[in-house]
Amino acid sequence: MTLPVDNAEITFRRVTSANVSEICELSETLPEEQREFVADNGQSIAEGFCSESAWFRGIYADDDLIGFVMVHEGSDWDDGIDCAGPYLWRFMIARPFQNRGFGKQAVAKLATRLRSSGSSELYTSFGVGPAGPQAFYEKLGFSPTGGMFDEEVEVVLSLVDR
């Protein structure tokens, strides 16, 4: 596998019959300690197709598939999400592409997309632990709301003046 260059363009592409298997296989790249904090992409895609409020895509760096993102963008509570704004439901960058700035770029691109549709905040939540994503979200500017989502810490990112 050739790794994309660090300045590759980040794009979001629909999940299709042509890329669904490859997106599902990205979950297998995560080390065991991270898998505890990241839902399997196959499960996420199935849940996304069952929700009227899910927007989900493969994350690409140029033409290389590097991750998966899913956002809950509606008021459909049937999927268990009750949030004041868009909720970053699932997010993962495959292990070979971590620590290269791709995750930060993908969240920035997502923030731009949400801002252009009128959103002023992006919510998410995470489990706390040694291999958890807390430091990643803190570096991006997410701050605790004081709430919990199930057993996860809820955080929010302001999309205003960014």
Summarize pLDDT for 46-58 with one digit per residue, the tens: 999 988 889 999 9
Q: What are the beta bridge partners of residue 125?
A: 154
In this prediction, residue 85 carries a pLDDT of 84
Distance, in Å, from the CA atom of 86 to the CA atom of 110, rounded to the nearest integer, reads 11
Residue 56 to residue 59: CA distance in whole angstroms: 10
- At residue 79, the pLDDT reads 63
Contacts with 139 (C-beta within 8 Å, 6 or more apart), sequence order: 104
pLDDT exceeds 80 at position 74: no
pLDDT at 39: 94
Q: Specify the pLDDT at position 149.
A: 84
**Predicted confidence band at 131 (pLDDT cuts at 50, 70, 90)?**
confident
Sheet holding 87-93, edge to edge: 10-14, 54-61, 64-72, 87-93, 121-126, 152-158, 143-149
Q: Three-state SS for 27?
A: helix
- Residue type at 135? A
Q: Cβ distance 119 to 159 under 8 Å? A: yes
Task: Give the least confident one: 6-10, 21-25, 82-86, 110-114.
Answer: 82-86
Dihedral angle computed from the Cα positions of residues 128, 133, 137 and 142, in that order, rounded to the nearest 10 degrees: -20
Q: Which domains does the chain have, with CATH numbers?
A: 10-158 (3.40.630.30)
Q: Residue 1: pLDDT above 60? A: no
Provide the whole-model pTM.
0.92
Helix, strand, coil distribution of the chain in percent, nearest 5? 30, 30, 40
pLDDT at 4: 66
DSSP 3: P
pLDDT at residue number 78: 62
Measured from the Cβ of residue 48, the count of other Cβ atoms closer than 10 Å reads 22
